[in-house]
Amino acid sequence: MNAINQSGWKPEMQPAGEGAAPATHTGNRALMLGEPLIFEIGDSATTGVDLAEVPAGENRLAGLARTAPIGLPGLSEPETVRHYTRLSRQNYAIDLGLFPLGSCTMKHNPRLNEKVARLPGFADVHPLQPVDTVQGALAVINELAFWLIDLTGMHGVAMSPKAGAHGELCGILCIKAALEARGEHDRRVILVPESAHGTNPATAAFAGFKVEDIPATPEGRVDLGALKARLGPDVAGVMITNPNTCGLFERDMKAISDAVHAAGGYVYCDGANFNAIVGRVRPGDLGIDAMHINLHKTFSTPHGGGGPGSGPVVLSKALSPYGPLPFTERHADGHITLVEEETVGDRHPDSFGRMTAFHGQMGMFTRALAYILSHGADGLRQVAEDAVLNANYVLRSLADTLDAPFADSGPCMHEALFSDAGLAEGFSTLDIAKGLIDEGYHPMTVYFPLVVHGAMLVEPTETESKAALDQFIGAVKAVAARAKAGDASLKSAPHFAPRRRLDETLAARKPVLAWQEPAA
């Protein structure tokens, strides 16, 4: 018999419970790799690019040639790739698992969209090229614009806003411009429900409006009576999120719009949650005057760790004349032109002006259009249905586990809201969130909306399978059980993440916002 396994290697298993994990020499734990800052591993003499010889010649820099060092570290290409790859592995992402961040809509990002956005015909085109050389780019904007108008049942759309909050600003400026055109300068108040996202009041204030809260009913919807009572000659309009941040459809939306219109105001709808109703309801049928659409939410452009977003704003017939520059105009022969400052007087005289340097988020338009074309009118309707189905499944499956304050208010839409009621003394929503991290999940949105104590807002999205939801529900039940039982180890969670709980007080008291060389 030949010698078997001459190397002497055999699989060895540590008997359960024996041997604590040792400290490692590097501080790394196998695939969990720490990574210093570029300032600690790079230096000013290293570069990861090969550049041509600098041609000789006098400079023409007006005596302003840089002499002092900048202090920028460089890394070789292999070191660069490794640095950022190691950093990436300290992030949770939708590619890794369910990401139930309520109102943020973390759904699968199809890679087809990335591919088309990188076609040189879109990626390598300058915004100021003569319009005859960018007819395809303008066609993308135009085509997406028509989809957005048709899906929302609105009259027009402003494509240039750079993100949701920028879109809110666009809509609010349209309202302001419309009021000024009517000579109504005394309408200075915008009404915003208490449950609104913080960008709503911030936007209205940024545009010079005074913000007043409107109360909610006990079932979590806008109090129509209170709203009506507040309407008057000083009210410019309302900003309402529908479906709202409690995950509920505003049943009275049409009545709200009618009342606001009757009182001379306009209705802004925060469309952050349009993904719940796309293809099932058209906001235009509810009397909305302006609504931004976060392309990164409803139409799945990637969130990128915090942008870039894109926030086109659909507009009613009443507000369309006031929309911002630039926009595209398609002619009978198929040629598309741009309406900018030059032609605004002829084509769009009431425009409130320009909000951003160029044409908006082209790279997001291509991705969103690819997503929309992939789904089509039928698929988009299915998107809303599955998003709502998944959220209701989570809501009902966890009804015995967590307090759901609006469970009796009817079905939820795309997100399910829970509170911290019923946890053991000293345990909070934060502990549930950190416990879920150890279970391999990104937590839900916590402490928002503000109208619910210790809010937990779960948005599973339509791109999760039933099996993935069942696993998640199981994890929430397990963590909630620990929080109800007062399991002390939950208070110090997460235990298994790249970092333990971080000291945010220290960060805010003594802000260190940029790298400084350590004192010698």
Residues 283-342 that bind another protein (CB under 8 A): 285-286, 296, 300, 302-310, 324-325, 340-342
**Cβ closest to another protein, residue 14 vs residue 472:** 472
Which of 33, 207, 263, 407 is close enough to bind another protein by CB under 8 A?
207
Q: How far apart are CA 520 and CA 517, in angstroms?
A: 8
- Kindly state whether residue 181 participates in binding another protein, applying the rule CB under 8 A: no
User: Cβ distance 105 to 331 under 8 Å?
Assistant: no
265: its two tokens = 């105001």
Tell me which stretch binds another protein (CB under 8 A): 11-19, 224-232, 245-253, 263-271.
245-253
Q: Shortest gap between Cβ of 177 and another protein (angstroms)?
A: 9
Binding residues among 43-72 for another protein as defined by CB under 8 A = 43-49, 51-52, 54-72
- Which residues inside 14-43 make contact with another protein, applying CB under 8 A? 35, 37-39, 42-43
Q: Which of 33, 80, 407, 484 binds another protein (CB under 8 A)?
A: 80
How many angstroms separate the CA atoms of 230 and 252, rounded?
16
Q: Scan residues 367-426 and list those touching another protein (CB under 8 A).
A: 369-370, 373-383, 385-386, 388-390, 392-393, 395-397, 410-411
CB of 101 to another protein, least distance (A): 6
* Terminal CA-CA length for the chain: 67
Give the closest residue to 407 by CA, choosing from 220, 245, 260, 241: 220
Where do we find the tokens 């780019």? Answer: 137
Partnered with residue 291 across adjacent β-strands are: 269, 314
Strand 327-330 vs strand 189-193: parallel, antiparallel, or unpaired?
unpaired
Residues 257-276 that bind another protein (CB under 8 A): none
Q: Which is nearer to another protein, 1 or 51 (CB)?
A: 51
**Least CB distance from residue 355 to another protein, whole Å?**
6
Question: How many Cα neighbours within 13 Å face the side chain of 487?
Answer: 14
Phi and psi at residue 73, to the nearest 5°:
-80, 145
Distance CA 260, CA 108 (A): 38
Among 199, 316, 320, 429, binds another protein (CB under 8 A): 199
Q: Which of residues 156 and 220 has its CB atom nearest to another protein in the complex?
A: 220
Q: Which of residues 81-140 bind another protein (CB under 8 A)?
A: 81, 83-85, 87-96, 99, 101, 104, 106, 108-110, 112, 114-116, 118-130, 132-137, 139-140
Residue (101 or 290) nearer to another protein, CB:
101
Residues 6+ apart with CB under 8 A from 264: 184, 187, 233, 235
Separation CA 193–CA 207 (nearest Å):
18
